Amino acid sequence: MPLHVPPAPAPALRSVLTALGSPTAVREARTPSLRAAQGPATPELPLPVHVLDEITPAGVSATRLAGWRFLIRCGERSVAAAETRLTPDGWAFSHFFEGPYIASTERALRQAETIAQPCQPRLLSIPSLYMLALWLHGDCAADGATGHPDPADILVPLAPAPPGIAAHVPHRVAELLPVLTLRATPTPTPAPLPPLPPLLGSPA
């Protein structure tokens, strides 16, 4: 099933194109693959990055939009990603980066294309678990910048995933949420032990 990729804000795309066209921005980026790429580099597959700051036992709290991420393709593969962020003056380029999430995102998107139901791809970041997932939202007509995971939505954890969470195994939000809730709930701090009584015969 083709993915319904939400349109990125035009200023965000322009800011990435400007950065790609700047030799200084590319040269100063901590992305050896991008600096060494041969041929033109193009931004593709814009995905809104939503952050889930808190998972409560009652359900998923509201997410917030942190930015838009573009995969930077050169030839037949993605060599890096570009992050944009919202500033008081509008959308602006933030930075280039590379690493395992690039290939993992591409793999998860290929997995999503085999799912029978139509969906809108997004990225969901859960900082408390150091976790990033491809979020397949069931409402393809929704504004990609808003909303929160519905119980029937699908999450595909990206690699590297937190311990005990298998990467690239799709889960319904309703199934994965209880697991994430337990992981994100801090362990209660044990109460301090009472002071020991003085030893027999020792001064009080």
- Condensed to tens digits (0 to 9), the pLDDT of residues 162-177 reads 988 999 999 999 888 8
Burial annotation 10-41 (CB, 10 A radius, 16+ → b, else e): eebbebbbebbeeeebbeebebebbeebeeeb
Per the structure block, which two tokens stand in for 129?
Answer: 């678990």
| pLDDT tens-place string over residues 93-131 | 999 999 999 999 999 999 999 988 899 999 999 998 899
pTM of the model: 0.85
Compute the distance between CA of residue 139 and CA of residue 142 in angstroms, rounded to an integer. 5
